[in-house]
């Protein structure tokens, strides 16, 4: 990459990427104030001119300097642009994500990582974003990207990701959602309703009831009208279920606002992890309350009907999915507009045509662990022995790692990897659902497992396979995500 008389390029030494800057002595002197080097020297060109070079580690300070010089390596705010989120758990898949996005003209949300993922992989928000900026530079990609700090639950989460420079913030207030409100008796509901955080909700319970009861809210629905009417019972259920979560979202959103001052950022609220699907009435209620409390979201993640299990296709009734998605889309358009966000969105090939058709222009689809499985596919191809070790280790920690997910994995359907010949490993463990789920949820254990001497059990070996077969890795990731985009109805650019 050229910047005036200076040339910037990336090289790789062992497992580490390094930034090399080459240029005339005086100009390089200026750059040395910004970029710290670990090695410096002279070069004689064929024309007899003397140039100097500096080899700089890809540390945070140098990556910050890179972002100042090449602003396209910095994430940006996207507003209502439809987007696909792609997570990179190892930090080496992003070039593949960029290639898929370029091919299909998609706006990519890179560095999409939840706090849970960062804890499980032992990476910080800063490291995740730094890896992405380097990948963007490496690909010479200037089309712009967003960075999603996913599933933030606390003020600390918000601050850590703000400091790292994220531009999109997904607030997950699920700890404050009261799922029991779906089945509580009326007396319990009334008591819980009284105890809601009315101070934060900016009104009294009485005032609140007046806002919603004895009214009919009309949502335009493609030539028809979707009518939303609250009975006292349905209002109490919605309020008890979601109001504390809304108050928490408002708290974090206001904190973000104070951090950004006049700067802008993208905001999402996610209530995708509830037991029961979000009803149109609940959706309307959440949107209406956010609006009343002055919080504007660019996207909202709901719990849609059916099952969105990790790493496998959608499980459920496609007709019902489409019908309810349409209702949600009308509400999102009327109450925002904001995008509908679909989490655990990878590998849901049967619903992509519906998503493309119903909310294509207002969709934020999040895929995350699916790129990790493509990395393991590369391992299966190049080092079957290591791949078998990973499967065996995953079988040992699956029961613990699966707890935070809703999965229907049948472990008895997974054979002992030692009984599976090399050429069938991919088919058995990476193409079939049970194997995919096993490997998908144990990523944290695999990527952080250490030997007794403190060295990595798998991480280094996985990384070196990905690095040695870099192009093949990027292409695997790009073509897998490309299949997602194609199924959404996007066409590949020539
Ligand atoms: Zn989610």
Listing DSSP states for 366-399 in one string gives: EE-THHHHHHHHHHHHH-HHHHHHHHHHHHHHHH
Measured in Å, residue 82 CA sits from the centre of ligand 1 at 17
Distance CA 282, CA 409 (A): 30
Question: Does position 45 have pLDDT exceeding 80, yes or no?
Answer: no
pLDDT tens track for 277-311? 999 999 999 999 999 999 999 999 999 999 999 99
Residue 30 binned pLDDT confidence (cut-offs 50, 70, 90): confident
Would you state the pLDDT for residue 32? 79
> What is the Cα Rg of the chain in Å?
25
Distance CA 205, CA 211 (A): 10
Is residue 310 within 8 A of residue 407, CB to CB? The reply is: yes
| Residue 371: count of CB within 10 angstroms of its CB | 25
Measured in Å, residue 296 CA sits from the centre of ligand 1 at 19
Measured in Å, residue 112 CA sits from the centre of ligand 1 at 11
Residue 117 binned pLDDT confidence (cut-offs 50, 70, 90): confident
Distance CA 8, CA 27 (A): 13
* Residue whose pair of structure tokens reads 């064929």 in the numeric block: 46
Classify strands 299-301 and 266-270 as parallel, antiparallel or unpaired.
parallel
Question: Does position 50 have pLDDT exceeding 90, yes or no?
Answer: no
Measured in Å, residue 306 CA sits from the centre of ligand 1 at 15
Parse the chain into domains and list their residue ranges: 2-69, 71-174+252-369+483-487, 374-476
Measured in Å, residue 173 CA sits from the centre of ligand 1 at 11
Measured in Å, residue 252 CA sits from the centre of ligand 1 at 17
Listing DSSP states for 146-169 in one string gives: EEEEEEE-SHHHHHHHHHHT-SEE
Distance CA 288, CA 391 (A): 47
Q: Rank 36-50, 328-342, 393-407 by mean pLDDT and report only the highest.
A: 328-342
| CATH superfamily to which 71-174+252-369+483-487 belongs | Aldolase class I (3.20.20.70)
Measured in Å, residue 11 CA sits from the centre of ligand 1 at 36
Measured in Å, residue 148 CA sits from the centre of ligand 1 at 12
pLDDT tens track for 320-353? 999 999 999 999 999 999 999 999 999 999 999 9
pLDDT tens track for 235-284? 999 999 999 999 999 999 999 999 999 899 999 999 998 999 999 999 99
Average pLDDT over residues 377-394: 98
Distance CA 97, CA 83 (A): 12
Q: Give the burial class of 369: count Cβ atoms within 10 A of its Cβ; 0-12 exposed, 13-18 middle, 19 or more buried.
A: buried
Is residue 73 within 8 A of residue 144, CB to CB? The reply is: no
Distance CA 256, CA 169 (A): 9
Would you state the pLDDT for residue 2? 81
DSSP annotation of 3 reads E
Is residue 390 within 8 A of residue 379, CB to CB? The reply is: yes
Measured in Å, residue 311 CA sits from the centre of ligand 1 at 13
> In 3D, which of 481, 450, 472 has the Cα closest to residue 382?
472
Distance CA 113, CA 87 (A): 6
Question: Does position 182 have pLDDT exceeding 80, yes or no?
Answer: yes
C-alpha distances in Å from residue 339, one per residue of 81, 100, 150, 286, 333:
8, 22, 16, 14, 8
Residue 27 binned pLDDT confidence (cut-offs 50, 70, 90): confident
Residue 453 binned pLDDT confidence (cut-offs 50, 70, 90): very high
Measured in Å, residue 466 CA sits from the centre of ligand 1 at 27
- CA triplet 166, 349, 488: central angle to 5 degrees? 65
Question: Does position 425 have pLDDT exceeding 80, yes or no?
Answer: yes
Measured in Å, residue 407 CA sits from the centre of ligand 1 at 14
Measured in Å, residue 272 CA sits from the centre of ligand 1 at 6
Classify strands 16-23 and 6-13 as parallel, antiparallel or unpaired.
antiparallel
Would you state the pLDDT for residue 25? 85
Measured in Å, residue 300 CA sits from the centre of ligand 1 at 11
**Cβ-count burial 377-395 (b if 16+ within 10 Å, e if not):** bbbbbbbbebbbbbbebbb
Q: Which residues are catalytic?
A: 150, 268
């Amino acid at each position: 990459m050229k910047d005036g008389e200076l040339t910037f390029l990336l090289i790789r030494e062992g497992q580490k990427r390094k930034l090399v800057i080459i240029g005339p002595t005086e100009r390089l002197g200026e750059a040395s104030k910004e970029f710290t080097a670990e090695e410096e020297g002279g070069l004689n060109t064929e024309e007899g001119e003397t140039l100097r070079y500096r080899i700089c580690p890809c540390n945070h300070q140098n990556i910050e300097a890179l972002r100042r010089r090449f602003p396209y390596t910095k994430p940006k705010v996207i507003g209502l642009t439809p987007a696909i989120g792609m997570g990179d758990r190892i930090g080496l898949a992003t070039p593949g994500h960029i290639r898929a996005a370029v091919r299909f003209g998609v706006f990519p949300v890179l560095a999409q990582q939840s706090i849970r993922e960062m804890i499980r992989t032992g990476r910080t928000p800063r490291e995740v974003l730094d890896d992405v900026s380097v990948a963007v530079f490496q690909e010479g990609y200037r089309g712009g990207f967003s960075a999603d700090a996913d599933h933030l639950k606390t003020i600390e989460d918000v601050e850590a990701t703000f400091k790292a420079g994220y531009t999109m913030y997904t607030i997950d207030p699920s700890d404050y959602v009261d799922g029991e409100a779906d089945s509580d008796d009326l007396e319990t509901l009334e008591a819980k309703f009284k105890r809601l955080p009315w101070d934060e909700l900016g009104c009294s319970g009485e005032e609140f009831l007046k806002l919603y009861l004895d009214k009919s809210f009309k949502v335009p629905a493609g030539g028809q009208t979707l009518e939303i009417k609250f009975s006292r019972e349905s209002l109490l259920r919605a309020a008890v279920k979601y109001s504390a979560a809304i108050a928490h979202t408002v708290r974090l959103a206001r904190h973000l606002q104070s951090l950004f001052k006049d700067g802008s950022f993208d905001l999402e609220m996610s209530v995708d992890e509830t037991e029961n699907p979000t009803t149109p009435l609940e959706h309307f209620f959440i949107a209406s309350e956010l609006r009343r409390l002055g919080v504007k979201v660019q996207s909202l993640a709901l719990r849609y009907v059916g099952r969105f299990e990790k790493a496998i296709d959608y499980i459920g009734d496609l007709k019902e999915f489409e019908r309810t998605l349409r209702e949600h889309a009308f509400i999102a358009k009327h109450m925002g507009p904001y995008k509908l966000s679909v989490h655990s969105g990878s590998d849901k090939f049967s619903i992509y045509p519906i998503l493309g058709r119903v909310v294509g222009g207002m969709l934020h689809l999040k895929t995350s662990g699916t790129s990790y499985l493509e990395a393991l596919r590369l391992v299966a191809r190049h080092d079957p022995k290591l791949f078998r070790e990973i499967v065996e280790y995953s079988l040992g920690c699956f029961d613990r790692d699966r707890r935070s997910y809703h999965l229907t994995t049948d472990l008895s359907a997974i054979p002992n990897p030692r009984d599976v010949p090399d050429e069938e490993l991919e088919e058995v463990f990476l193409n079939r659902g049970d194997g995919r789920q096993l490997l998908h949820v144990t990523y944290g254990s695999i990527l952080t497992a250490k030997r007794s001497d403190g060295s990595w059990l798998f991480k280094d070996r996985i990384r070196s396979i990905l690095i040695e077969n870099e192009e093949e890795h990027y292409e695997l990731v790009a073509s897998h995500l490309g299949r997602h985009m194609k199924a959404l109805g996007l066409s590949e650019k020539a």
